Chain A
Amino acid sequence: MSKKSLITILTTLILAPALIVLTWKFNIHYYITGTLMVILCMIPFFISFEDRKPEARELVVIAVLVALSVASRAAFIAVPMFKPVIGMIMIAGFAFGSQAGFLTGAMTALISNFIFGQGAWTPWQMFSWGLSGLIAGFLSKKGLVTGNGRVKEAISGFLIVLLVVGPALDTSSVLTMLAKPTLKSAWPFYVSGFPANISLAICTVLTLVFLSKPMLEKLNRIKLKYGMME
């Protein structure tokens, strides 16, 4: 690891607790604290990727994965009920591992919002979509999910959306709308977000059930053919 990135990561480690103290001392909007925290959490991922000086092939593979996911979000713009994008990100994670999965998720959120509109939700979306790719990569590395079956993929997708992606976005709306959020005052937001999260989870499951096998065949063939990302 280079000196520059070591310094950056150490700075984030110092900044995070400092932020909490500042929020507590001065009356800072909780959304600002939360969002800065989320951004601080993402910095090490991006820095370590930059630090590795990725080769052209790695860059292009991630760009293609992101572009396919963004296109999948844009393709269903007329059917707002159907959102295959988390499924696509997870497939990328299954095939190319945690780091590629995280980057695909975070970049898909950022770039598709250039089309759909950036907003206060962007950092939260980047982080939670990135996490879904990261977890997918982790599961496939541990051999828990092979990508060739259907049941395990579907269950993992369902749980990731319900436990990671949905709550993260609900938290972002709680922090923007409530003055002093407590567990007691915030739960209605999580309850009212539940139907939307369930619908997203079902879309993800459908995407994984129908696409993970054919997509992974293609991705694994490419990996084998060019000997990439081993």
Chain B
Amino acid sequence: MENATRFSQYNPIINFTFFIGAICCSMLFMHPAYLVASIFMSLAFNLSTKGLKSLKMIGFLLLVFAFVTVINPILNTAGNTVLFTYFNDRSFTLEALTYGFVFASIFVSVILWFSSYNAIMTSDKFVYIFGPVLPAISMIISMVMRFVPNYSTKAKQISTARQCIGLAGENGDKKDRLKNAESILSSLTSWAFEGGISTADSMRSRGYGTGKRTNYSIYRFDYHDLSLLITMILLLGIVAFCSISGATKVEYLPEISINWFDNIYTLVGFIAYVLFLSLPTILNIKEEITWRILRSRI
């Protein structure tokens, strides 16, 4: 496996919990220190998951950041500190610009989290998590993941067969090619349904739906997973408690007011937050270092 980082080898429940926690927290907390933490940790995690490939995104991310920062003060004129006015008294305020920065940071860190999510949460992990809760839906997901490559192979076969008898319309005009595509889709559809029905009948005759559905999966939940899960829940608990006690209290409109680190809750909550977000990165780096050391000893 190309992307077999340490974190991706944990149980899918761990992966999913972390991503849900990280993405929701990145969106909930608008405190500047928390925002900086989530941008840096999402970038660090993305680097540790995808390697140097993730640097390709940076140009795009900077563009998005600039766009979201600028679009907010242009569309929103609230705020007390007017930086300058344009177009007959439309004001460009410091507070709205700050809000632009805040939303741009949230947006960029969420893009980065999702980029790592897509590298780690494959469809089989998704099915593993939702299999017990939504058995029929998960069954459909795993069937579709099998059908899609199957259909594209079949479509190629049909197309080749039509070429052999001169019906592929390669040399024809647009209308011929369109007609060809339509015929391929039609026969693919019939074939897919006929095959699907016999699959269904075969499932039925083997007793589908008669008992409780069990799932086969290659994932285990061992004590590594348990200890990481408990750590994550504890850290999130601390973050939530501090946040309720006013750690992340910020106002940007109409005037900027922020609770800084002289507030004990802000400090403790911030440390817990950084620790939570950096957990998978730390695991990945630790694993990489151990591996290097082991290899160098050979």
Binding site for B on A (CB under 8 A): 27-29, 31-32, 46, 49-50, 53-57, 59-64, 66-68, 70-71, 74-75, 103, 107, 110-111, 114-115, 117-120, 176-180, 184-186, 188, 210-211, 214-215, 218-219, 221-222, 226
- A107 CA / B138 CA spacing, docked (Å): 10
Q: Which 4 A-B pairs have the closest CB atoms?
A: A67-B147, A185-B75, A63-B143, A60-B200
- Chain A proximity mask over B12-46: 1 for CB below 8 Å, otherwise 0: 00000000000010011010000000000000000
For chain B, the bracket of interface size reads 35 or more
Q: Are A46 and B141 in contact (CB under 8 A)?
A: no
Q: Does B186 contact A (CB under 8 A)?
A: yes
- Chain A proximity mask over B117-147: 1 for CB below 8 Å, otherwise 0: 1100111001000000011110111011101
Q: Are A71 and B151 in contact (CB under 8 A)?
A: yes
Q: Kindly identify which residue among B137, B178, B189 contacts A210, using a CB–CB cutoff of 8 Å.
A: B178
Closest to A214 in B: B186
Closest to B72 in A: A179
- A62 CA / B178 CA spacing, docked (Å): 26
Could you say which residues of chain B place their CB within 8 Å of the CB of A74?
148, 152
- A46 CA / B75 CA spacing, docked (Å): 38
Q: A55-B209, A118-B118 are in contact. Are A49 and B253 (CB under 8 A)?
A: no
- 11 A-B pairs in the complex with CB atoms less than 8 angstroms apart: A56-B201, A57-B200, A71-B148, A114-B126, A117-B115, A178-B71, A179-B252, A180-B253, A214-B185, A218-B193, A222-B194
Closest to A182 in B: B76
- A150 CA / B107 CA spacing, docked (Å): 42
Q: Are A107 and B141 in contact (CB under 8 A)?
A: yes
Closest to A108 in B: B144
Q: A60-B197, A60-B200 are in contact. Are A215 and B189 (CB under 8 A)?
A: yes
Chain B interface helix/strand/loop/mixed: helix
Q: Are B185 and A211 in contact (CB under 8 A)?
A: yes
Min distance, Cβ A212 to any Cβ of chain B, angstroms: 11
- A180 CA / B71 CA spacing, docked (Å): 12
Min distance, Cβ A50 to any Cβ of chain B, angstroms: 5
Could you say which residues of chain A place their CB within 8 Å of the CB of B200?
55-57, 59-61
